[in-house]
């Protein structure tokens, strides 16, 4: 459900005034509104009493007014999850992103109640009657497969449009890795730091270009293609003071985007129990920093929860320098658990009670520390992290368990891999596009059969 002109016509708390050059108006506008009669020294002064695009406070004022109107009808925003709304007694909840509603309900009468409340004050462009299947939300296309109890999320056309914007064409040789990797020197007892050349500083225009690419593809990566996140994180860490080397990284990322088919994430029906894989790569980033990775998915309350599509992917460089691989792993677990706490609360507000959230790690030392099996010597920062994890365990919020690294999907988000590894791992997180093409084909055939049957029935009774 989408509200039209959400920012417009909201009464301002105080009036604003705008000065515009008369020469900036088209002659037809000047003549129609007789602006020459009211202009002073070549300027037109405008009094603004209602919301308009470009006004800084327009968004918050429109949000407050909508909240007042929804509160009057029994809808209230969550105290803990901004953007999540529930009713006082109706079995309905929805997320509100600017003017887009994503509605979950039991019983159409409750959905229509929300629709009628909104229609009293706003013009609704896409309502629940037109889009009963919920096929679009905040730019994401949803393909529902009720027979197999799953849904596919994609953003068709997003990458091609971005590539046109950045004047990038598909490379002659397919690029299967979004970022260069540091080759492992097998058989060598010591792995030395890869020298990072300083490089020539990028120009102001090139810096803006890098920031635009990161911003454009970061939304796409977070929404449907997490395989880009490690590369985007590495580029983003350089964008404050980018060099020509950063431009090369951006170019490789765009080659990767142009070489891959549209990303599709699939979510299977589950018991809506949050599960996490946590991992860290020790000293894998410049300046002796480590990277944390996390794979969040909805599963069941089992000892080893089966995988599902990622609902959240953590991919961050740790600010502090870790003193050991164990400390890096504990730091990653801390970061993942910190993200999981509000996610648990949101799920509970949506009607999905959460047992202990299972968190998988592949480091036996870190697992022993957080489960209180060993008491190591540690720094104060490490002390805070593992006591925090132990505390949350004691509160019944988390359950930590160990599995080998080959079964830890968060490992993919902790370092840069060669192309062959990316090709092998993409099916773990993404669904081939051919599946939703086949699903859409079947839906079209089913729709045609229904229409044909209706025509035949009408012809018989006619």
Asked whether residue 133 carries a pLDDT value surpassing 90, the answer given is no
- What's the rounded mean pLDDT across residues 6-25? 86
For the domain covering 270-413, report its CATH number.
3.30.420.10
Domain boundaries, the chain: 2-132, 270-413
- Residue whose C-alpha is closest to residue 416's, from 328, 311, 325, 293: 293
- 318-351 tens-digit pLDDT: 888 888 888 899 999 999 999 999 999 999 998 8
DSSP letter (8 states) at residue 415 = S
How much is the average pLDDT of 2-22? 84
Per-residue pLDDT for 385 more than 80?
A: no
In the prediction, which pLDDT does 208 show? 93
Residue 257 has pLDDT above 90, yes or no: yes
End-to-end CA distance of the chain: 38
- Taking only the tens place, the pLDDT of each residue in 51-71 is 888 888 888 888 888 889 899
**pLDDT value for 190:** 55
Gap between the Cα atoms of 197 and 214, Å rounded: 22
Backbone phi, then psi, for 27, in 5-degree steps? -60, -40
Q: Provide the 10 A C-beta neighbour count for residue 267.
A: 18
The confidence score (pLDDT) of residue 462 equals 62
Query: How many Cβ atoms are within 10 Å of 268's Cβ, its own excluded?
Result: 16
Question: DSSP code of 322?
Answer: P
**128 — pLDDT class (breaks 50, 70, 90):** low
* Cβ contact 231:178 at 8 Å: yes
Residue 299: what pLDDT? 94
């Amino acid at each position: 459900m989408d509200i039209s002109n959400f920012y417009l016509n909201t009464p301002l708390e105080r009036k604003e005034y705008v000065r515009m050059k008369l020469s900036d108006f088209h002659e037809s506008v000047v003549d129609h509104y007789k602006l020459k009669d009211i202009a002073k020294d070549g300027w037109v002064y405008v009094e603004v009493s209602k919301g308009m695009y470009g006004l800084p406070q327009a968004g918050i004022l429109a949000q407050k007014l909508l909240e007042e109107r929804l509160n009057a009808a029994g809808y209230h925003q969550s105290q803990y999850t901004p953007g999540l709304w529930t009713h006082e007694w109706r079995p309905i909840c929805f997320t509100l992103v600017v003017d887009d509603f994503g509605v979950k309900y039991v019983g159409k009468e409750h959905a229509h109640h929300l629709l009628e409340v909104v229609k009293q004050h706003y013009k609704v462009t896409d309502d629940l009657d037109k889009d009963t299947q919920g096929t679009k939300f905040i730019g994401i296309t949803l393909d529902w497969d009720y027979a197999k109890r799953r849904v596919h999320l994609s953003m068709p056309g997003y990458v091609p449009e971005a590539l046109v914007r950045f004047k990038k064409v598909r490379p002659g040789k397919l690029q299967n890795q979004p970022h260069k990797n540091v080759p492992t020197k097998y058989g060598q007892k010591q792995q030395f730091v890869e020298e990072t050349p300083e490089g020539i500083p990028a120009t102001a225009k090139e810096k803006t270009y890098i920031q635009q690419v990161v911003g454009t593809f970061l939304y796409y990566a977070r929404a449907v293609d997490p395989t880009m996140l490690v590369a985007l994180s590495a580029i983003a860490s350089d964008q404050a003071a980018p060099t020509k080397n950063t431009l090369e990284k951006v170019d490789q990322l765009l080659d990767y985007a142009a070489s891959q088919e549209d990303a599709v994430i699939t979510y299977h029906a589950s018991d809506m129990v949050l599960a996490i894989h946590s991992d860290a790569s020790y000293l894998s980033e410049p300046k002796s920093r480590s990277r944390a990775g996390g794979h969040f998915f909805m599963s069941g309350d089992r000892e080893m929860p089966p995988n599902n599509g990622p609902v959240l992917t953590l991919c961050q460089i740790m600010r502090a320098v870790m003193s050991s691989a164990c400390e890096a792993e504990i730091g990653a677990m801390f970061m993942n658990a910190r993200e999981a706490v509000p996610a648990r609360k949101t799920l509970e507000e949506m009607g999905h009670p959460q047992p202990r959230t299972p968190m998988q790690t592949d480091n036996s030392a870190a697992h022993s520390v957080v489960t209180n099996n060993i008491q190591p010597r540690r720094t104060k920062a490490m002390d805070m992290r593992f006591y925090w994890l132990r505390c949350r365990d004691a509160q019944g919020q988390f359950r930590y368990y160990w599995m080998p690294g080959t079964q830890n999907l968060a490992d993919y988000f902790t370092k840069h891999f060669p192309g062959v590894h990316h090709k092998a791992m993409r099916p773990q997180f993404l669904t081939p596009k051919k599946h939703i093409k086949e699903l859409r084909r079947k839906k079209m055939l089913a729709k045609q059969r229904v229409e044909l049957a209706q025509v035949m029935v009408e012809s018989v009774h006619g």
